Amino acid sequence: MTNEVVSKLPTIDGILCERIRGALGNLDEACGNKLAQWRAARTADGFVAVEREIHACFREAGDEVTKAILTSIVTDREFQLETNEAVRGRGKRYHNGGQRTVEVTLLGGSKVAVKVPYLRPDGRNRTGRKRGSGRRGKGGAGLYPSLAALGIWFGVTPALANDVCTQVTASDSVRAGRAALATRNIDIGHKQTLRLFEHVSHRMLEQRQDWLTRTHAAPPTTGPLAGKRVVVAIDGGRLRERRSSGRGRRRAATGHRKYETPWREPKMFVIYAVDDEGKLDSSFRSVYDGTLGDCQVMFEMLSGYLQDLGAAGARLLTVVADGARWIWERIDRLVTRLGIDGTKVHQVIDWSHAVSTLYTIAGYDKSSSEPQRHAWVRNAKDLLHAGKLDQLLARIDALAIGRRARSIRKHRDYFVDNAARMQYDAFVATGIPTGSGAVESAIRCIINLRLKGCGKFWKELNAEGMILMRSYLKAERFDDLFAWSLAQATPWWHHDTPYDNSPLVARPSPQ
C-alpha cells in the first residue's frame, strides 16, 4: 500500500519524517485491515459506505501529516524569531508575551495544539480602571506571528477557513452550510462558524475600504479593462435590517431586547466587458459588489473598482440602469473622475423597464379591452425600438385625456427626460447592450436568495460582509478575494507583489 511512499521519505528532519512515516503506516494498516470487507461490497449502499470509509481513512492520515508539518514549522526557532522581528519592524509596539499553547483545527476536522510565541500589544497609555478578565485594552489584540504568517487566524487553518466561509456564503443559511460541511467531517460548531464568518467578513470589509482609498489616491495607469468595451449595470434590492430599539426588558430565553426590522436598499453594480457585437467577452470575469450605504458611498465604490480595472482606457463605457434619478444624476461626475472621454460613454435605460412603463400607461385606459391595450403596447414598443420617440409621445398624449391625464403625463415625463438614453435603434446597431439583466440576476442570486426572506433580519455590518463575500463568490473570484485578504492581514510578512495590491487580480497557480 503506502510502503513505497514511506521508504522514499527523506531523512533530513528525523523527527518530522518519523511522524509522517507513522501516519502513513497507520493508513497502511487501516487499509489492510478493511480491504477484504471493502471488496465484499455488492450493493449501492454498501459501496457508498466503502467510499466514505476510504476517504475518512485518508482524511485522518492527511491531518496527521499536516499536524507534523505545521508543528515542525511553527516550533522552528529561526522562523519564530524572523516573524517576531518582522512584526516589530512595522512600527506598532508589542511586548513579549511568552510562549502560549494554541489549539488549531485542521482541514480534515482534527485539532492540534502548538506552543508558539505571543506578542501582546502596548497598553501603557491606557487610563481608567483596570480592564476585566478576557477584555482587551486600548492596545488592541495580541498576535501569534508564526501562526499569522501561515494564514492561521481565529484557531483554524486557512484552507479550513476558506472552505467554511465558502460554504456558509453559498448556502441559504448557516445551518445548511454546516450540514454540507459535515459530509466531509468538518463541524466546528454553530457559534464558532458564525464567529469565524463574521471575523473574516468584517476584516475583508476594512481591507476593501483601505484598498479603495489607496486606489482613489493613486489610480493605476492601466488595467484589464483598457481597450475593451465596458458595461456597468446598476440597480437596488431590498432586505430587512435588524436594528436594536434599545427599549424594554431582555428576553429570558435569548437575552435580547426588542428590535426593529426596517427595509433597507442594498445598491449593487456589475462590471463586465462585451465584444463588438455586444456579446459577453469571456476574457474578462465579471465583477459584482454592493453596499447598504447611500448613493454616494456606492458611487465611491464603483469609481474605485473602475479605476483599479483601468476603465479610463476603455474603448467604450456603457452604463445601463432603470430610471432612478440617484443613478443618472451621478454619471457625469463618475465619468469626470475616471478621466474618460465623454464621447466614449453611453447611458442606456433598461429596455424592460421602459416597456414596463408602457404597460403601466396602457393600464390607465379603462375604456379599452385588454386585447386593445396589448395591441397599443405592441405598437408603442415598435416605435420605441425604432427610435421614433416623437411618434410614441404623440400616442401617449392621445391617451392622456380626462381623469387619467395627470397620471399618464407623469409617466410620459419618463420618456421625455430619458430620450437620449432610449435610442435603442442606434444602440442595437452598434452592439451596445440595452438590458440590465446582469445586475437583476446578481441581485436575485446575491441578495434575494440569501439575505432576503421570511424571518431574515440582518445587522448592517453582517449584511455588508455577506454581500461582499457572496458577490465575489458568484463572480468566481472568492478564492482571489480570500488569498488577497490573507496577504493584506500580514503586510509585515507578505512582500509586495502585483496580486497583493488588488482583490481583482487572479492569484497565480501554484507550481
The dihedral sign for the CA sequence 130, 136, 138, 144: positive
Percent of the chain with pLDDT over 70: 90
Residue 511: band (very low, low, confident or very high) from pLDDT cuts 50, 70, 90: very low
Residues 86 and 53 in one domain: no
What is the Cα–Cα distance from 192 to 180, expressed in whole angstroms?
16
Residues 205 and 332 in one domain: no
Nearest to 19 by CA among 65, 83, 78: 65
Residues 202 and 89 in one domain: yes
- Domain-located, residue 390: yes
Residue 133: band (very low, low, confident or very high) from pLDDT cuts 50, 70, 90: low
Residues 308 and 321 in one domain: yes
* pLDDT at position 115: 95
Mean pLDDT of 385-406: 92
Mean of all residue pLDDT scores within the chain: 89
Q: Residue 204 belongs to what domain range?
A: 77-121+140-210+474-496
* pLDDT at position 305: 97
| pTM of the shown model | 0.89
| Cell numbers found for residue 200 | 473574516
Of 145-154, 233-242, 251-260, 322-331, the range with the lowest mean pLDDT is 251-260
Mean pLDDT of 128-134: 53
Q: Is 438 exposed, middle or buried (0-12, 13-18, 19+ CB in 10 A)?
A: buried
State yes or no: pLDDT of 139 exceeds 50.
no
Cα first-last separation, the chain = 27
State yes or no: pLDDT of 164 exceeds 90.
yes
- Domain-located, residue 162: yes
Residues 305 and 280 in one domain: yes
State yes or no: pLDDT of 169 exceeds 50.
yes
Residues 98 and 181 in one domain: yes
Residues 155 and 235 in one domain: no
Nearest to 423 by CA among 450, 460, 384: 384
Residues 315 and 361 in one domain: no
Residues 117 and 59 in one domain: no
Mean pLDDT of 109-115: 93
36-95: pLDDT as tens digits:
989 899 899 999 999 989 988 898 899 999 999 999 999 999 999 999 999 988 766 788
Q: Is 45 exposed, middle or buried (0-12, 13-18, 19+ CB in 10 A)?
A: exposed
What is the Cα–Cα distance from 360 to 178, expressed in whole angstroms?
45
Residues 94 and 197 in one domain: yes
Residues 181 and 110 in one domain: yes
Residues 70 and 81 in one domain: no
State yes or no: pLDDT of 425 exceeds 60.
yes
Of 139-148, 235-244, 365-374, the range with the lowest mean pLDDT is 139-148
- Domain-located, residue 177: yes
204-253: pLDDT as tens digits:
999 999 999 999 999 988 899 999 999 999 999 999 999 887 676 777 77
249-302: pLDDT as tens digits:
777 777 677 888 999 999 999 999 999 999 999 999 999 999 999 999 999 999
What is the number of structural domains in the chain? 4
